[in-house]
Chains A and B, each alone.
Chain A
Amino acid sequence: MLWYVGRRVGMSVVMLALTSVLIFVVLRVLPGDPVTTLVGQTEGIDASQVAQMRHSLGLDRPLIVQYGSWVAGLFSGHFGMSYFSQQPVQTLMGGRIVPTVELTLAALLIAIVIAVPTAIYAAMHPRGIVDRAATAFASLGMSVPSFLAALALIIVFAVKLRWLPTRGYVSIFSDPVQNLKLIVMPAAALAFTACAPILRFLRGSLGEASEAPYIRTAEGKGMLRPTAIRKHATPNALIPTLTIVGMTVGRLLGGVVIIEYIFSWPGLGTLIVDAVFKRDYAVLQTSILFAAAAFIFTTLVVDLLYGVLDPRLKASTAESAA
């Protein structure tokens, strides 16, 4: 087990290192740079002043030197300064992480709360109305992008009914009620697409598990089928679903960007989008690396959890070790 954990952690570190190189290089390949964006259209600025500013920001150094400087900064806790706001990257990110994590967790919670009971009920009553509706909902959720769901929610709940606000963020600690009002629509829009794969996969896993010999055995012993599914099939089907939940977190991190933009939610997503448009390298590369690290960490945890929960994996790692 220890070997398995060590291998997975090692792979995560390598992935993170490769990601950092990729982010760094791709950003430099894009046309434009922070100085051009910052002062390019300032009246009276000439090329020599632009070159001077580029020099003072260290952007004229060889790429390998710039990369080394950034990585060294990451290890020493200095992530650099935004070229635009002149604030430290950790300050900018610090204020954005909580709203993004809050929104992502809320969306995940809604998705799980809807998907798991619905899938179990649908499996207990195959081809029933709930099963059919769940299948249709899963197809819709997987084909409709979250921003479309967001706009539909805004039209209904903000424009027509005027129940919910369309924009902004208030900390849960300063005003829990307003926080709840503000998070409902963005979280629901995200959950709409996050829910679908969990529901679809779990329903499929439960379908397979319900045909397994141990269910027939349980039924043969007199256990009712719904009870057998709930008690025996569900725990087995939930284990592979963990992987889907882990992947869903990755999808949520991607989808949160556009949702934050639509609802003016001041999270990492809007920070990243703004930094892309401005070529704010320091903010952008660190924020993306953080998001990548969050995703890699989540999949790592899921994999490790999988190893703990699945006895077959335990056995195979034990055999490998032997």
Chain B
Amino acid sequence: MRRSRSLVVLLSVCVAGTLTACGSSAKKPPASGNSSGGASATAANNSTSASPKAGGTLTYGYTGGGLTSLNPNTINSGTEKPVASLLFDGLTQLGQDGSTQPDLATSWTASADQKTWTFKLRSGVKYHSGKVFTAKDAVANINYVLDKKNAASQRKRITAITSAVATNDTTLTINLSAPDAVLPSALMWVYMANIDTIGQVNTNGDGTGPFEVKDFVSDDHLDLVRFDGYWGTKPSLDGIKIVRTADATSALTSLQTGQLDVLWGVDPTNVGTLQSDKNLTFLKSNSTSGVTILMLDTTSPPFDNIKARQALSYAVDRKSMADAGYNGIADISPANDPIGSGSADFASSLPTYDFDLDKAKQLFAEAGVKAGDTLTFWTLAGRRGEWTTMGQILQADLKKIGINLKIEQQETSSWTAKFAPAGKKFPNTIVMDFLSFPPVPAFALQFFTSGGCECNWNNKDYDALMAQTLGATTDSARKSAEAEMQKMFNEQVPSVVLMQNATLVAAQTKVQGVWLEGDGTPRLAQASLS
């Protein structure tokens, strides 16, 4: 039995920060702002006095792994994320203030039990190929993400969906097996590709977004041009050229010499160089949703013992690591919390793990880790040099209490194979990792539910609290459940959270209108060149 638009649902969704278009206006600002924490972001260079001009081509460069595929629903690297929002739309989208805003859906309502959601879709929207977008496309894309044959990272957040039904061309009904107040937020990253040609979407990028593909060479470059049939605010730029510069030093040189307008993935050691260049600016997000963590196997010795995990959390000198690794551009997390202190949902009363080697030594001893024992620090080779720096700091500190730390650097595949997917055993090993979360705090906490985290922490109480969070009908109920989860995380340390930080992005001062998601993903659709 459905009840449309009950007040309870309206309130619950709004306070959860997910419903910004409870009315029907397409671009209505969010009713609840950024109450759910989340990553809001601004481009530091937006404040430049030069006026933007229409036209021109922006050259966006990135370092590291290549842009291999344009399929927006199987994104598995940070390099692919900025492209998805240029070519594709979701039903909902991330607002600059971190809120959930309408995109191809103009409004949505939930039944009283929050198990049935109805989305009103925009009419007259066309794909780059000319095909008209309807609710059937939304159904097909949701089913594509739900299909276990496809490596869709967003699946975990929408697994409660039992069916998606196209009631008519502009009405979509989604049925859930359990209440989910943040479903509209979870749908932000389920992109609406042209499912008729899904086999070619990896190269043709046929979506409804503001730009379309002109030329794409996998792992090298992607040339986009403005899509004149776009339904929303037309981009100022004529096009965006997305290029790869694999070598970080070479990438920085390209930025300094003006061959790149924006560079994603700046090596933290180059921050000083950038800051001293008056033609360049360093983009920042207002709050961050990325975390640098030490991943531990909670099912293998010694980290199957809570005391060993707590000991490690005391043994890490977060401040020194942040200063040495990220030039201080990171918010340390002494409370060992995946939610940043800048979030409204952060549990501020949590006890902290201040750097204390004596306490670490005592807890390690109680967990059976004695002087002379050796642990392995598992990190990447060839990139993320800051991780090795942080590993060396930990190595020196552990040495002071008699524990040896062997630092092993591995290229990406070998590094991943050691601990992923979830369920793998990796005893005596500390894996350095960066997790990029969507801005809704619940999603950061959800990662650590059973079967989600490579740390193999399967805690039924924590899972139950997650269900409570998703089904919360009031702001206080949601925050209360989230606070309990953070307390549990703080006590049991399934992973050691070092700091909240984002991938570093720099740009020419002439670039305007770029803003960053909480993990440093640039939003380029409304960029312009002054």
Residues of B within 8 A of A274 (CB): 65-66, 219
Q: Assess A270 versus B69: contact at CB under 8 Å? Given A43-B156, A158-B253.
A: no
The B interface is mostly helix, strand or loop, or mixed, namely: loop
Interface of B toward A, CB cutoff 8 Å: 65-66, 68-69, 76, 148-149, 151-153, 155-156, 159, 202-203, 217-221, 243-247, 249-250, 253-254, 256-257, 259, 382, 410-414, 416-418, 420-424, 447, 451-452, 454
Question: What separation, in Å, do the CA atoms of A164 and B306 have in the docked complex?
Answer: 57
Q: Assess A264 versus B244: contact at CB under 8 Å? Given A46-B451, A151-B249, A154-B253.
A: yes
Per the 8 Å Cβ criterion, residues 253-285 of A in contact with B are 261-264, 266, 270-271, 273-274, 276-279
Question: In the complex, are the beta carbons of B151 and A46 less than 8 A apart?
Answer: no
| 21 examples of A-B residue contacts, CB within 8 angstroms | A31-B414, A31-B418, A36-B413, A36-B417, A38-B76, A38-B151, A41-B76, A42-B151, A43-B153, A44-B155, A45-B421, A46-B422, A53-B149, A84-B69, A85-B202, A85-B218, A158-B257, A165-B259, A261-B247, A264-B244, A276-B411
Q: From A273, which residue of chain B is reached at the shortest CB distance?
A: B246
Q: Hey, what's the 0/1 contact readout for A60-93 against B, CB within 8 Å counting as 1?
A: 0000000000000000000000101111000010
The answer to whether the Cβ of A40 comes within 8 Å of any Cβ in the partner chain is yes
Known: A32-B413, A166-B253, A266-B217. 19 other contacts (CB 8 A): A32-B416, A33-B413, A33-B417, A36-B416, A43-B452, A44-B155, A44-B451, A47-B422, A49-B148, A85-B68, A166-B250, A166-B257, A166-B259, A167-B243, A168-B243, A261-B247, A262-B250, A276-B411, A278-B412
The answer to whether the Cβ of A52 comes within 8 Å of any Cβ in the partner chain is yes
Question: In the complex, are the beta carbons of B246 and A82 less than 8 A apart?
Answer: no
Question: In the complex, are the beta carbons of A86 and B69 less than 8 A apart?
Answer: yes
Question: In the complex, are the beta carbons of B156 and A44 less than 8 A apart?
Answer: yes
Question: What separation, in Å, do the CA atoms of A85 and B217 have in the docked complex?
Answer: 10
Q: Assess A41 versus B246: contact at CB under 8 Å? Given A85-B69, A166-B254.
A: no
Q: From B153, which residue of chain A is reached at the shortest CB distance?
A: A42
Question: What separation, in Å, do the CA atoms of A165 and B258 have in the docked complex?
Answer: 9
Question: In the complex, are the beta carbons of A159 and B257 less than 8 A apart?
Answer: yes
Cβ-neighbour of B151 out of A53, A151, A262 (below 8 A): A53
Question: What separation, in Å, do the CA atoms of A151 and B151 have in the docked complex?
Answer: 39
Residues of B within 8 A of A85 (CB): 68-69, 202-203, 218-219
The answer to whether the Cβ of A56 comes within 8 Å of any Cβ in the partner chain is yes
Residues of A within 8 A of B447 (CB): 43
Q: From A45, which residue of chain B is reached at the shortest CB distance?
A: B421
The answer to whether the Cβ of A288 comes within 8 Å of any Cβ in the partner chain is no
Residues of B within 8 A of A271 (CB): 219
Question: In the complex, are the beta carbons of B202 and A277 less than 8 A apart?
Answer: no
Question: What separation, in Å, do the CA atoms of A268 and B491 have in the docked complex?
Answer: 51
**A-B CB proximity, top 6 nearest:** A44-B156, A32-B413, A40-B420, A32-B417, A39-B151, A266-B220
Residues of B within 8 A of A154 (CB): 250, 253
Q: From A34, which residue of chain B is reached at the shortest CB distance?
A: B413
Question: What separation, in Å, do the CA atoms of A92 and B219 have in the docked complex?
Answer: 10
Residues of B within 8 A of A40 (CB): 416-417, 420-421
The answer to whether the Cβ of A50 comes within 8 Å of any Cβ in the partner chain is yes
Residues of B within 8 A of A33 (CB): 413, 417
Q: From B418, which residue of chain A is reached at the shortest CB distance?
A: A31
Question: In the complex, are the beta carbons of A41 and B413 less than 8 A apart?
Answer: no
Q: Hey, what's the 0/1 contact readout for A7-29 against B, CB within 8 Å counting as 1?
A: 00000000000000000000000
CB of A74, distance to nearest CB on chain B (Å): 21
CB of A75, distance to nearest CB on chain B (Å): 25
Most buried by A among B149, B244, B245, B250: B250
Residues of B within 8 A of A263 (CB): 250
Cβ-neighbour of B259 out of A46, A167, A273 (below 8 A): A167
CB of A272, distance to nearest CB on chain B (Å): 11
Question: What separation, in Å, do the CA atoms of A41 and B156 have in the docked complex?
Answer: 13
Question: In the complex, are the beta carbons of B246 and A44 less than 8 A apart?
Answer: no
Residues of B within 8 A of A278 (CB): 65, 68, 412-413
